[in-house]
Structure 1
């Protein structure tokens, strides 16, 4: 056989060397085998590298999704907190609206009546009522008093013993107890002296034909022609004129005629309609129509601003 097609292998040992002749085809097979094994190893390494890259990419995506999920959880918790806070605000507003409805005498028995509708109804009704009660005498002219020593109507005069008509209410009180205006108006009279038995006297002209008298004063804190607001200090309780002790004589007049002040001193937002039945000497329907017409001439924003101001003052 031709030696070019053979491969001679020499294996040496301490006992000597041995020679083996291998056919060249086996040499090729061995070369191909190791080349094949090397290729397999190379492709395995490439596959492992690719797999490692994919795993790393998946891990990055998983971390991104995990971070995004945590962010969404945080936002969800934040939104839940905001919703809870808004619910509390809503309940607080509903309670305040309910209080306002109670103050202005609005009765709402409809469970489907929304909060916005309730606010609008309370705003419109409340504004009308506040407007009326700002200019028409209402409430007490004193923060405190001992008792009502004499009411409105006929009585036995405490000094001369004769039966006479008493045009107002007498509030027995301590000397120098502050006296306040019961509605917005203009001081028509403020003078000390006898004044027909009234003693030191303040008269205030109010809108729509109303007028109030504050008599038997010790002193006064306003002057004629001065504009005053409801609740403004105007005088101090005294014992001047025809009087048997320190007290305030309070009158309410309409178009010059005496009317019972008791109905007006007990009048407030919670019983707003009560006076219309109690006091028949005032043409309330005509008066309310006039007031509503006046209010319609005031821009809505100005009316709401005025209402907020009035609520703060009250």
Structure 2
């Protein structure tokens, strides 16, 4: 009981204590429930984050593996491209294209090499070039004025003499037709083969031991036509080789040294040939001829010395 000037009040302590305990227990239960809910939510979030982390990590590892694989492929492609570029550079060197073409793309360089190469192959197939012998001892007498070994007089030597063993094979230096093939003296040439080539060129193969072609035969560049001998006005076994253009003899050594790698040099060395007119004619001819016919014309038996 609590007394005051206003009266007396009575309180039930047992009931109040029970209310306090009830509220306290309820509060603690609510707090524990809230904590459990929060912990469950956190656990779910952590599980979800772990799942996403593992997924991202797997994706990252896959990207790393793809990157490694792509890097290896790129490296291989670079090596292949470098090899192709080296081969194109070798081809450009063989057919005499300037290194300035390296400024162009690889595709353009391939196209330039193919077009220029085909034109040059055409020329090298039908114009005399290279040596008529695969093996020889020495050049025993060059083109030009000399003291003749038999007459001991100064005379113009119209060809190049290649000293070689008897019966060394003699090959045509360009496609053409056999214009003359005969044994005997033949004006000092002895046994001789004369070939008519395209665009006004002709080649002579003299002092032969024997011949294997006949007048009117078509021959290819690199085809066997005769064997080295010592017939006619000759002082030893050798091949007398001449190149003529429109009936006039020209320095055969320039044509013997002519090949794809030094293609342009012949234009400076040999001034007695109308090169500009010839090249324009060939260029126009090839532009008017389909590619398939050009390749057929070149044939499969091309032999470039």
TM-score of the two chains, using structure 1 as the length reference: 0.75
User: Are 1:134 and 1:183, in contact at CA under 8 Å, matched by a contact in 2?
Assistant: yes
Q: What is the SS of the residue equivalent to 1:252?
A: strand
Q: Distance in 1 between matches of 2:301 and 2:92?
A: 16
Where in structure 1 are there 5+ consecutive unaligned residues? 1-21
Q: Does 1:98 align with 2:89?
A: yes
Deviations 1:279-300 (A, max 9, x none): 2332222211110111101235
1:24 to 1:265, Cα distance in 2 relative to 1, 3 A:
same
Q: Distance in 2 between matches of 1:47 and 1:262?
A: 102
User: Are 1:130 and 1:310, in contact at CA under 8 Å, matched by a contact in 2?
Assistant: no
Q: Distance in 1 between matches of 2:199 and 2:93?
A: 27
Higher relative contact order (CA 8 A, sep 6+): 2
Deviations 1:61-117 (A, max 9, x none): 222211211221122222222333333333333333333333333334588554444
Q: What is the SS of the residue equivalent to 1:244?
A: coil
Task: Tell me what 1:264 maps to.
Answer: 255
1:190 to 1:82, Cα distance in 2 relative to 1, 3 A:
farther
Q: Distance in 2 between matches of 1:134 and 1:90?
A: 31
Q: Distance in 2 between matches of 1:118 and 1:250?
A: 38
Q: Distance in 1 between matches of 2:143 and 2:225?
A: 23
Q: What is the SS of the residue equivalent to 1:140?
A: coil
Greater displacement, 98-107 / 35-44: 35-44
Q: What is the SS of the residue equivalent to 1:204?
A: strand
Structural RMSD (CA): 3.6
Q: What is the SS of the residue equivalent to 2:68?
A: helix
Write out aligned runs for 1:27-42 (5 A).
none
Where in structure 2 are there 5+ consecutive unaligned residues? 1-12
Greater displacement, 205-214 / 190-199: 190-199
Greater displacement, 217-226 / 234-243: 217-226
User: Are 2:259 and 2:304, in contact at CA under 8 Å, matched by a contact in 1?
Assistant: no
Write out aligned runs for 1:75-94 (5 A).
75-94=66-85
Write out aligned runs for 1:103-118 (5 A).
103-109=94-100, 112-118=103-109
2:116 equivalent among 125, 128, 131: 125
Q: Distance in 2 between matches of 1:114 and 1:215?
A: 50
Q: Distance in 1 between matches of 2:144 and 2:73?
A: 61
1:53 to 1:260, Cα distance in 2 relative to 1, 3 A:
same
Q: What is the SS of the residue equivalent to 1:138?
A: coil
1:120 to 1:260, Cα distance in 2 relative to 1, 3 A:
same
Q: Distance in 2 between matches of 1:42 and 1:226?
A: 113
Write out aligned runs for 1:128-207 (5 A).
128-207=119-198
Q: Distance in 2 between matches of 1:109 and 1:189?
A: 46
Task: Tell me what 1:9 maps to.
Answer: none
Greater displacement, 268-277 / 186-195: 186-195
TM-score of the two chains, using structure 2 as the length reference: 0.77
1:42 to 1:108, Cα distance in 2 relative to 1, 3 A:
same
Task: Tell me what 2:53 maps to.
Answer: 62
